[in-house]
Amino acid sequence: MNIRNAIIVLAAIVLSQFSMAQNVVEDFKPSSVNQVGSQYPQVNSEGRVRVKISAPWALRVQLDIGGIKYDLKKDEKGVWIGESAPQVEGFHYYQLNIDGASVPDPGSLYFYGASRWGSAIEIPAPDEDFYAQKDVPHGLVSQKMYFSKVTNSWRRCFVYTPAEYDKNSSKRYPVLYLQHGSGEDETGWPTQGKANLILDNLIAAKKAVPMIIVMDNGYATKAPAPNGITAQSKSAFPFEEVIINEIIPMIDGSFRTLKDRDHRAMAGLSMGANQTITITMNNLDKFSYIAGFSGTSNYPRTDVIDPATFMGGKFKDGAALNKKIKLFWLGLGTKEPAPFPGSVKAFRDMLDKQGVKYTYYESIGTAHEWLTWRRDLNQFAALIFK
């Protein structure tokens, strides 16, 4: 390339970037998940995220969202500011990168996700009303501590009880066990997922049966045996032992539950979907409602599933399963990345081949994030225990 052509190309790039900057819609507003009083981060009508931070001595500051980094610009006071490209509506984790060090944004609330406590942004969605905080009766989210003999450690779960729970001491309730995804913990559903608000709104609108929801930590490690060697799990994985042998008996003993399989459901997202389908299929005497959000027990494979060998042949007899399972439910966002669409399709193909009845839902325009899973919960909770 000669010098003249190089200058033309460089000028085109500069003009293109200038044009893009000029085309940013200047209607930014503070995010709904900011620290109290913080004006930044902000979101505009295009879904762009704008951040601002004072770092006078920094040489380079970037906004890292969705794995893509955007350079910020420093003003004469040492304040860095800049914005991202438009983001898909929903909830996104992000961080700031200051001279190579990734740190949370002090302007946002902190959430546990991506295996760290850090910042997040909420890109407004047109249907956000279903998880909004409204003037309706609100249930209680309580914290339950318990000692697990399986893991030889103290554990914690959050328990949602509907608004009417304390008004009638004789009434008993069905239970939904609701699991988070990889890199998250038991705080995910009551915080990022807004599970309590979703159920409050559904119940107030008489679209869902009042129910108890249990949200536990899906990570569990088998406690070492007296000889120091980690004992083998009697189930598919230690968390199955925890939920079947410890959590369910504890919840049934501490809350007014309906203790039969007809009034017990389990659902989970991504890793939690894998856990849900595996645990419920191993314990159909305890569960009759099953849901996988953005995942299946096939995660993360995308090839053809052989029902004769898959999960020990548990899906071979579709007619028998249809008699036991009241609702088998699967959900997926239309913008989810690989391997999730392929994995879910392979699983659905297997269910279709075996004649297993299920309900499939697509969250339009959302990716592998919390808006997809809020919509999943909103749809699934409205169908169970009826």
Q: Could you state, in order of their start, the residue ranges of all structural domains in the chain?
A: 25-124, 129-381
CATH 3.40.50.1820 for the 129-381 domain, yes or no: yes
Tell which residue, 92, 94, 93, has the closest CA to residue 123.
92
Percent of the chain with pLDDT over 70: 91
Q: Which helix (H) or strand (E) holds 188?
A: helix 188-191
User: What is the rounded average pLDDT for all residues in the chain?
Assistant: 92
Q: What are the beta bridge partners of residue 62? A: 71, 97
Tell which residue, 123, 60, 118, 68, has the closest CA to residue 93.
118
C-beta separation of 333 from 368 below 8 A: yes
Residue recorded with tokens 């302007």: 107
For residue 219, how many C-alpha atoms fall within 13 Å in the half-sphere facing its CB?
9
Rounded to 5°, angle at Cα 140 from 138 and 144: 165
pTM: 0.91
Residue 243 pLDDT grade (very low, low, confident, very high; cuts 50, 70, 90): very high
The stretch 175-198 carries a mean pLDDT of 98
The stretch 45-63 carries a mean pLDDT of 98
Question: Quick one: residue 342, left, alpha or beta (phi over 0 = left, psi -120 to 50 = alpha)?
Answer: alpha
Residue 298 pLDDT grade (very low, low, confident, very high; cuts 50, 70, 90): confident
Q: Please, what's the b/e burial string for 60-81 (b: 16 or more CB within 10 A of its CB; e: otherwise)?
A: ebbbbbeeeebebebeeeeebe
Q: How many contiguous H segments (helices) and E segments (strands) does the chain have? A: 9, 19
Residue recorded with tokens 């010098």: 3
Distances (CA, A) of 69 to 95, 102, 385: 10, 11, 45
Superfamily (CATH) of domain 25-124: Immunoglobulins (2.60.40.10)
Residue 297 pLDDT grade (very low, low, confident, very high; cuts 50, 70, 90): confident
CA distance 92 to 107: 15
Predicted pLDDT at 9: 38
Residue 16: how many other CB atoms lie within 10 Å = 10
Q: What are the beta bridge partners of residue 331? A: 293, 361
Each residue's pLDDT tens digit, 307-352: 999 999 999 999 999 999 999 999 999 999 999 999 999 999 999 9
First to last CA, the chain: 71
**Helix, strand or coil, per DSSP, at residue 237:** coil
Report whether pLDDT(227) > 70: no
Predicted pLDDT at 301: 74
Say how far residue 92 (Cα) sits from the centre of its chain: 11
Residue 224 pLDDT grade (very low, low, confident, very high; cuts 50, 70, 90): confident
CA distance 280 to 274: 10
The stretch 102-118 carries a mean pLDDT of 96
CA distance 342 to 335: 12
Residue 200: burial class (beta carbons within 10 Å; 0-12, 13-18, 19+): buried
Listed in sequence order, the residues at least 6 apart from 239 whose beta carbon sits closer than 8 Å to its beta carbon are: 218, 219, 220, 275, 279
Residue 20: how many other CB atoms lie within 10 Å = 10
